[in-house]
C-alpha cells in the first residue's frame, strides 16, 4: 500500500498541500520520508530479537524503493505539470462534496496565488516550527524569534494566546517563561491568567484547569508570582467565596505543597488531613478557608494527583512498550517499523486505541470543515524537495557506504539521478551540488584499492548524467572530468589496473577491471563529444575544468597529456561557436597552452606547441573582417613562448609551426600578421643560425609575394622585423638581404 502511495505523484502533492502546508496539520509527507529514511538506515526502533535478518534486509530494501519512488514521482509531476497548459491552477472541493470552484475571479490574481500560496504557507509553517523549537530550548529567545518574524503581535495578550493554543510547546518551558520577573514576561503571565475563566469551579478543579497548560517552575519565587495571580483571578470570577485574595493565594500554595507531599515518593512522612487543616487555619476564622473546604480539598488531592495533560498522556503510554509510544505518528499508523511479534494483549490494546481515535475523529468532524486542495502546480515540487531532499541524500549515502547489495545500489543510483535532475530544473544549487559531489565520491576512482562493484555503478551513473543531463553538472565539471582522467589512467596503465580491488578474489577483480575498461571507451568519450550541446556559460566552465585537470596531469611523474589531447579535440568540436564565446574560451586555453608549452619536459612542451598549431590552423579557416584582432589573440601564445623559451628545439618548432601556418593559410591571415612578425623578430635575435635563416626566408617570401596583405596595420611590425634581421648576430648575408628588403618596402610603399 505504501509503495502505491509513493508512486502516486498526485497523492503525494495533495498530501503535501493539505497537511504539510497547513499550519494546524501534521507534516505528513515529511514524516513519511523521515520514517522511511530511518528504516532504511536501520535506526527505526524495533524488537531486534523478534526480527529475522532476512526480514530486516527486505524491509530496508522496500524502504529505499519507496524513497526512490517518491523522487521519481516528483520528477513525473514536474514534467507533467510543465507540459500541461493548465499548470498553475488549483481546484478546490469542499468536504461535503461541493463542486470544484476557483480560488478567485480575477485571472491574474489566480495565477499569482497559484504560484505562491502553498509555498508561502509552507515557509510560514517552517518558520513557526523553528520558533517553537527555539522556545523549547530558550523561551525568551523563542518569543524574540516569534516577534522578529512577525508571527505574533508585539502584545502580551498575543503571546499569552500563543502559549495557550500551541500544543507543540514544551509545558516546562511555558512555566519557566511565565515565572520570569521581567516586565514583558510578567505582563504575558497576567494576560495568560486573565484569559482563563474559573466561574463556578471548585477550588481544586480551578487549580487543575489552571495547571493543564504548563508545569510550575521549580523556583519558589516564580511559583509565588504565578499562584498570586491565580488567586486574584479566582476571586474575581468567584466573588464572596473568600474574604480576600490573600486567603485564596495561601490556600493555592498549600494545595500545591500537598500535591507534592502526597504523590512524591521521596517525601516521608506524609501529611495527614488534620495536619493540613491545622496548617491552613488562622486565628481569625474570617481570614481562613472553611474547615469543610479544607477537608474536601485534602481528599480530592490525595485521591487524584494534579497533573498536566502531558502527564496524563505519559501515564497511559508508559504501560505500552517503548517502540509504540509515538502516538499518532505516521510510522505507527502505517505500521512502518520493522516486523515484530505481538502478544494478544498488545493487539487488543492497539485495537481499542484505534477505535477510540476513530471515534474522536467522528466527534470532531464538524469542528473544522476545511477545503481540500487538488494541487496542479509545478512550483509545489520545490518546497516538497526542500523538505525531504537532505534526508533522502543521507539515506542514499549511508546505503552506499554500508554494503555492496546490487539491487539496493541500483535503487540508490536511480535516486541520485532523479535528485540531481530535479534540483537542476528547480534551481536548487546547493542541494544539486551536494548530490553530485556525493555521487562523484562514491566512484572511488581516487582509491582503486578500495573499489567494488557498487563504485562502478556510481561511475556508470555519473557518465550517464554527463550524456543525458549535461546541464545538471554545471559547476561540477572539474570533478567529473577528474573522474574521466583517473579512469583513463587506471585502465591504460597496467600497474594501476593491478591495484583495483586489491585483496579480493581474482574473478571479482577481473570483472570490475573489465567494467572500467568498457566505461573508459564510448561512455567516457561521449562526455567530450557532447560538449557541443552545452550552453555558453557551461562550455566555458567545461574548458576551465579540463584545463585544471590537464595542469594536474602535467605535474605527475611521468607527465600525462590525456586531458591536453582532449582540449584540442573539444576545441575542434566547438569551433563553430560564436566569436564572443570563443574569446572567453580562448582566454582560458591560451594561459594553459603557455604553461604546457613551458613544461620542463621537452616532449610535453613540443606536444603542447604542436596542439596550439593545430588550433591556430583550424581557427584561421574562419574569415576575419577588417579591424578585428582575434587572430592576433589566437597566435599570441606563440610570441610569449618564443620569447621565453630557452630550448633551441622549442624555438625552432615554433618557427616551423608559423612557417607551416603561413604556407597553408596565407590568404586568411589578417590581424595575425602582427604576431607573425613579432615571432620572426624574436627569431632574428636568436643565436641558432638555422632558426634565423628559416625565419628570414619566410619573411622575405611574404614581403615579395604578399606585400599588399601586410602594408596595412602591420607595416611597422614588418619594418621592425627587418631591422631585427639587419642586426642579427649569425650572418652578415642575412643582414644585407634584410637591408635590401627594407629598400623594397620603401619603394613599394611609395608606389
Told to judge if 219 belongs to the known catalytic residues of this protein, a careful annotator would answer yes
DSSP 544: H
- Residue 574: all three cell numbers together: 566547438
Instruction: Please say if the pLDDT value at position 316 is more than 70.
Output: no
The residue that leads in pLDDT, 125 or 602, is: 602
Between strands 371-374 and 91-94, the pairing is antiparallel
Q: How far apart are CA 62 and CA 451, in angstroms?
A: 26
Q: How far apart are CA 699 and CA 405, in angstroms?
A: 69
Q: Which of 538, 441, 439, 75 is nearest to 530 (CA)?
A: 538
Q: With left for phi above 0 and alpha for psi between -120 and 50, is residue 534 left, alpha or beta? A: beta
What's the chain's average pLDDT?
83
- Using CA atoms, how far residue 122 sits from 179, 386, 588, in Å, is 33, 10, 44
Q: How far apart are CA 249 and CA 253, in angstroms?
A: 6
Lowest mean pLDDT among 122-136, 375-389, 426-440: 375-389
- Residue 619: all three cell numbers together: 581557427
Backbone Cα Rg of the chain: 40
- As a whole number of Å, the end-to-end CA separation of the chain is 94
Q: Catalytic pick from 3, 182, 209, 219?
A: 219
Contact 524, 487 (CB under 8 A): yes
User: Mean pLDDT throughout 216-234?
Assistant: 90
Report pLDDT for 697.
92
Q: Which of 370, 335, 383, 372 is nearest to 11 (CA)?
A: 372
Answer positive or negative: Cα dihedral of 45, 51, 52, 57.
Answer: negative
Contact 582, 630 (CB under 8 A): yes
Residues 617-676 have pLDDT tens digits of 988 888 888 778 888 899 999 999 999 999 999 999 999 999 999 988 888 888 899 999
Neighbours of 312 (CB within 10 A): 12
Q: With left for phi above 0 and alpha for psi between -120 and 50, is residue 396 left, alpha or beta? A: alpha
Report pLDDT for 363.
55
Answer positive or negative: Cα dihedral of 428, 431, 432, 433.
Answer: positive
Report pLDDT for 749.
77
Q: How far apart are CA 590 and CA 607, in angstroms?
A: 15
Angle between helices 715-726 and 689-705 (to 10 degrees): 140
Q: Which stretch, 209-223, 380-394, 595-609, 625-639, has highest mean pLDDT?
A: 595-609
Instruction: Please say if the pLDDT value at position 458 is more than 50.
Output: yes
Report pLDDT for 439.
95
The residue count for the chain: 751
Which H or E element spans position 618?
helix 602-619
Q: With left for phi above 0 and alpha for psi between -120 and 50, is residue 155 left, alpha or beta? A: beta
Q: How far apart are CA 750 and CA 388, in angstroms?
A: 80
Lowest mean pLDDT among 223-227, 341-345, 628-632: 341-345
**371 pairs with which residues across the strands?**
94
C-alpha count within 13 angstroms, C-beta hemisphere, residue 247: 20
- Using CA atoms, how far residue 643 sits from 297, 312, 648, in Å, is 104, 88, 11
Q: Give the distance from CA 606 to its chain's centroid.
A: 44
Within 8 A by CB and 6+ apart from 542, the residues are: 477, 481, 531, 534, 570
User: Mean pLDDT throughout 357-364?
Assistant: 56
Which H or E element spans position 433?
helix 429-441
Instruction: Please say if the pLDDT value at position 104 is more than 70.
Output: no
The DSSP string of 160-185 is HHHHHH-TTS-HHHHHHHHT--SHHH
The DSSP string of 473-498 is TGGGHHHHHHHHHHHHHHHH-HHHHT
Contact 548, 566 (CB under 8 A): no
Report pLDDT for 108.
43
Classify residue 62 by burial, with Cβ atoms within 10 Å: 0-12, 13-18, 19+: middle
Angle between helices 673-684 and 689-705 (to 10 degrees): 140
Q: How far apart are CA 314 and CA 606, in angstroms?
A: 80
Residues 167-206 have pLDDT tens digits of 889 999 999 999 999 999 999 999 999 999 999 898 889 9
Residues 71-99 have pLDDT tens digits of 999 998 888 877 764 444 444 444 444 44
Amino acid at each position: 500500500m505504501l509503495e502505491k502511495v509513493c508512486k502516486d505523484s498526485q497523492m503525494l502533492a495533495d498530501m503535501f498541500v493539505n497537511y504539510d502546508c497547513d499550519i494546524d496539520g501534521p507534516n505528513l509527507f515529511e514524516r513519511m520520508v523521515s520514517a522511511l529514511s530511518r528504516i532504511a538506515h536501520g535506526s527505526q526502533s524495533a524488537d531486534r530479537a523478534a526480527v529475522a535478518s532476512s526480514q530486516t534486509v527486505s524491509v530496508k530494501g522496500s524502504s529505499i524503493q519507496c524513497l526512490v519512488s517518491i523522487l521519481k514521482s516528483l520528477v513525473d509531476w514536474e514534467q507533467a505539470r510543465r507540459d500541461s497548459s493548465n499548470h498553475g491552477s488549483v481546484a478546490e472541493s469542499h468536504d461535503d462534496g461541493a463542486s470544484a470552484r476557483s480560488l478567485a475571479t480575477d485571472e491574474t490574481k489566480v495565477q499569482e496565488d497559484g504560484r505562491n500560496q502553498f509555498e508561502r504557507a509552507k515557509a510560514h509553517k517552517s518558520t513557526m516550527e523553528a520558533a517553537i523549537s527555539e522556545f523549547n530550548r530558550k523561551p525568551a529567545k523563542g518569543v524574540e524569534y516569534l516577534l522578529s518574524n512577525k508571527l505574533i503581535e508585539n502584545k502580551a495578550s498575543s503571546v499569552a494566546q500563543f502559549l495557550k493554543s500551541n500544543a507543540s510547546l514544551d509545558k516546562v518551558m511555558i512555566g519557566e517563561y511565565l515565572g520570569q520577573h521581567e516586565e514583558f514576561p510578567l505582563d504575558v503571565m497576567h494576560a495568560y491568567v486573565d484569559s482563563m475563566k474559573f466561574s463556578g469551579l471548585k477550588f481544586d478543579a480551578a487549580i487543575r484547569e489552571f495547571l493543564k497548560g504548563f508545569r510550575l517552575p521549580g523556583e519558589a519565587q516564580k511559583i509565588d508570582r504565578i499562584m498570586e495571580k491565580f488567586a486574584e483571578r479566582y476571586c474575581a470570577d468567584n466573588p464572596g467565596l473568600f474574604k480576600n485574595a490573600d486567603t485564596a493565594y495561601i490556600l493555592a500554595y498549600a494545595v500545591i505543597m500537598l500535591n507534592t507531599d502526597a504523590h512524591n515518593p521521596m517525601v516521608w512522612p506524609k501529611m495527614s488531613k488534620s495536619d493540613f487543616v491545622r496548617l491552613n487555619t488562622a486565628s481569625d476564622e474570617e481570614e481562613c478557608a472553611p474547615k469543610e473546604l479544607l477537608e474536601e480539598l485534602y481528599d480530592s488531592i490525595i485521591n487524584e494527583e494534579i497533573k498536566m495533560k502531558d502527564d496524563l498522556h505519559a501515564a497511559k503510554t508508559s504501560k505500552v512498550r517503548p517502540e509504540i509510544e509515538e502516538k499518532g505518528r505516521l510510522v505507527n499508523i502505517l505500521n512502518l517499523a520493522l516486523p515484530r511479534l505481538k502478544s494478544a494483549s498488545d493487539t487488543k490494546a492497539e485495537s481499542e486505541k484505534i477505535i477510540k481515535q476513530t471515534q474522536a475523529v467522528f466527534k470532531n468532524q464538524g469542528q473544522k470543515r476545511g477545503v481540500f486542495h487538488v494541487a496542479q502546480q509545478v512550483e509545489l515540487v520545490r518546497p516538497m524537495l526542500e523538505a525531504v531532499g537532505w534526508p533522502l541524500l543521507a539515506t542514499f549515502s549511508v546505503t552506499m557506504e554500508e554494503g555492496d547489495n546490487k539491487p539496493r545500489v541500483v535503487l540508490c543510483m536511480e535516486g541520485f539521478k532523479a535528485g540531481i535532475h530535479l534540483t537542476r530544473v528547480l534551481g536548487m544549487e546547493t542541494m544539486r551540488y551536494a548530490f553530485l559531489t556525493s555521487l562523484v565520491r562514491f566512484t572511488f576512482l581516487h582509491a582503486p584499492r578500495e573499489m567494488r562493484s557498487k563504485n562502478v555503478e556510481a561511475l556508470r551513473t555519473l557518465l550517464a548524467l554527463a550524456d543525458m543531463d549535461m546541464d545538471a553538472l554545471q559547476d561540477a565539471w572539474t570533478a567529473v572530468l577528474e573522474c574521466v582522467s583517473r579512469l583513463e589512467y587506471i585502465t591504460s596503465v597496467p600497474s594501476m589496473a593491478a591495484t583495483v580491488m586489491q585483496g579480493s578474489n581474482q574473478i571479482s577483480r577481473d570483472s570490475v577491471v573489465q567494467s572500467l575498461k568498457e566505461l573508459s571507451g564510448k561512455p567516457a568519450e561521449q562526455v567530450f563529444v557532447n560538449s557541443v550541446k552545452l550552453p555558453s556559460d557551461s562550455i566555458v566552465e567545461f574548458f576551465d575544468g579540463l584545463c585544471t585537470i590537464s595542469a594536474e596531469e602535467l605535474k605527475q611523474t611521468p607527465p600525462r597529456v590525456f586531458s591536453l589531447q582532449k582540449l584540442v579535440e573539444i576545441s575542434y568540436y566547438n569551433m563553430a561557436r560564436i566569436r564572443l564565446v570563443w574569446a572567453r574560451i580562448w582566454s582560458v586555453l591560451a594561459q594553459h597552452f603557455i604553461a604546457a608549452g613551458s613544461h620542463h619536459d621537452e616532449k610535453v612542451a613540443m606536444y603542447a606547441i604542436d596542439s596550439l598549431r593545430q588550433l591556430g590552423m583550424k581557427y584561421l579557416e574562419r574569415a576575419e573582417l577588417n579591424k578585428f584582432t582575434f587572430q592576433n589573440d589566437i597566435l599570441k601564445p606563440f610570441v610569449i613562448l618564443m620569447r621565453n623559451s630557452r630550448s633551441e628545439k622549442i624555438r625552432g618548432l615554433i618557427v616551423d609551426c608559423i612557417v607551416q601556418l603561413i604556407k597553408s593559410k596565407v590568404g586568411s591571415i589578417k590581424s595575425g600578421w602582427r604576431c607573425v612578425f613579432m615571432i620572426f623578430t624574436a627569431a632574428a635575435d636568436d643565436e641558432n643560425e638555422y632558426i634565423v635563416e628559416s625565419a628570414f626566408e619566410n619573411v622575405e617570401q611574404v614581403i615579395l609575394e604578399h606585400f599588399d596583405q601586410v602594408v596595412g596595420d602591420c607595416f611597422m611590425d614588418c619594418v621592425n622585423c627587418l631591422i631585427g634581421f639587419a642586426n642579427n648576430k649569425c650572418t652578415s648575408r642575412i643582414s644585407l638581404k634584410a637591408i635590401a628588403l627594407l629598400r623594397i618596402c620603401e619603394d613599394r610603399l611609395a608606389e
